[in-house]
């Protein structure tokens, strides 16, 4: 494999229809490829990589030109290629991105997307629902497909006609969680994305992507977390999280994994129980909420765990605001609580 050339990196940004949602095809949420018809030139798992695609003009492997994405061989006998993705969570979808960056003479001219809601893995009896009909795909482009549906899905089949390559596949939406059968006496991670927790606002996110603080596991490196710029003016940075359900908070974890010279000096958490309202209105009033966790000193590269009596008993809450002083980086935030009786 030759690496004599300088890598060319693509840039990415969320489309307007994806604002306030998460990428359900992210491996950070547990999304994975479960079936492909062909991946001769590039494995389909590359298509789910959270990082933007990269291109090396002079890189080749045993099968030919190395491309950062899923790429099938040229079809000579009809049919089309497909890939099945199990999403990281059951979710209502807002739209898709089929990114063909750097795929020019080898992109698929058409693609479609189908969805299913299944237990386990799909089989020949799986009933697929068309979400995006066969549509034109442009080369070297962010091909965007907003959708309007209330039907939840946890598995997708991406079809490309007849063959070709896709650099990245993004699935934007919000997870849904059925709490009716949950144990009201047990502790639940109310902030987790897979339990419908979500970031709804923040003061700054110069480095990284804030949503990853609600994903499973510890951060892989310093880029796997929420980090603000260096604050040069008075004040502090903050982030607001809507919990997946109203609950009585019993345990809080703040993880500064890999943040050493740039972790926050200290933090506190405010909280409130709120009726449904626009996210912007909720965020605007968040600095006036009651204090759930009084100010605490933080350490570098450490999981900070807080239980009673450090946590104030505010009763059931639906939203929290984490204040960090004055700035810095957080890898993960976990809010554990008992479900409110009516939830």
| DSSP codes joined into one string, 299-310 | -SS-EEEEETTT
pTM: 0.89
Q: What is the pLDDT of residue 265?
A: 98
Q: What is the pLDDT of residue 8?
A: 64
Q: How many residues does the chain have?
A: 343
Q: What is the pLDDT of residue 2?
A: 38
Q: Which residues pair with 335 in a beta bridge?
A: 252
* Contacts of residue 50, Cβ cutoff 8 Å, sequence gap at least 6: 23, 26, 27, 28
H or E segment to which residue 282 belongs:
helix 279-284
Supply the mean pLDDT for the chain: 94
| CA 237 to each of CA 57, 229, 240, 255, 339: distance values in angstroms, whole numbers, following the listed order | 41, 9, 11, 16, 29
Q: What is the pLDDT of residue 12?
A: 67
Cα 216 to chain centroid distance, Å, stands at 11
Neighbours of 303 (CB within 10 A): 14
Ordered domains of the chain (ranges, CATH) = 8-175 (2.60.120.260), 188-339 (2.60.120.260)
Residues of the chain with pLDDT under 70: 1-12, 342-343
Q: Which of 68, 62, 69 is nearest to 36 (CA)?
A: 69
Give pLDDT tens digits for 196-248: 999 999 999 999 789 999 999 999 999 999 999 999 999 999 999 999 999 99
* Contacts of residue 114, Cβ cutoff 8 Å, sequence gap at least 6: 128, 129, 130, 131, 156, 157, 159
User: Do residues 332 and 255 make contact, with C-beta atoms less than 8 angstroms apart?
Assistant: yes
Q: Cα angle at 340 between 336 and 343, to 5 degrees?
A: 110
């Amino acid at each position: 494999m030759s690496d004599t050339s300088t890598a060319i990196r693509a840039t990415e940004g969320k489309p307007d229809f994806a604002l306030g949602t998460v990428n359900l095809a992210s491996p950070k949420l547990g999304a994975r490829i479960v079936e492909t018809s062909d991946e001769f030139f590039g494995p389909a798992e590359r298509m789910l990589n959270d990082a933007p695609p990269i291109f090396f003009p002079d890189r080749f492997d045993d099968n030919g030109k190395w491309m950062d994405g899923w790429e099938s061989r040229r079809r000579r006998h009809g049919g089309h290629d497909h890939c099945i993705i199990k999403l990281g969570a059951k979710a209502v979808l807002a739209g898709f991105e089929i990114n063909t960056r750097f795929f020019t003479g080898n992109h698929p001219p058409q693609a479609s997307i189908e969805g299913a809601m299944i237990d386990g893995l799909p089989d020949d009896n799986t009933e697929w629902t068309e979400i995006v009909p066969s549509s034109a795909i442009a080369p070297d482009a962010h091909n965007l497909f907003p959708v309007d549906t209330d039907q939840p899905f946890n598995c997708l089949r991406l079809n490309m006609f007849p063959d070709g390559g896709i650099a990245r596949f993004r699935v934007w939406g919000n997870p849904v969680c059925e709490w009716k059968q949950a144990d009201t006496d047990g502790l639940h991670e109310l902030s987790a994305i897979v339990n419908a927790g979500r970031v709804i606002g923040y003061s700054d996110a110069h480095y990284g992507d804030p949503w990853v603080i609600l994903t499973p596991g510890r951060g892989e490196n310093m880029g796997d977390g929420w980090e603000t710029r260096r604050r040069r003016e008075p004040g502090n940075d903050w982030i607001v999280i809507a919990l997946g359900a109203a609950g009585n908070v019993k345990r809080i974890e703040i993880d500064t994994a890999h943040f050493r010279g740039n972790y926050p000096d200290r933090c506190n958490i405010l909280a409130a129980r709120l009726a449904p309202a626009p996210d912007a209105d909720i965020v605007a009033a968040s600095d006036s909420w009651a204090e759930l966790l009084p100010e605490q000193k933080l350490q570098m590269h450490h999981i900070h765990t807080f239980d009673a009596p450090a946590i104030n008993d505010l009763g059931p809450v639906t939203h929290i605001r984490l204040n960090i002083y004055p700035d810095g980086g957080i890898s993960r935030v976990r809010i554990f609580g008992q479900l409110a009786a009516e939830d």
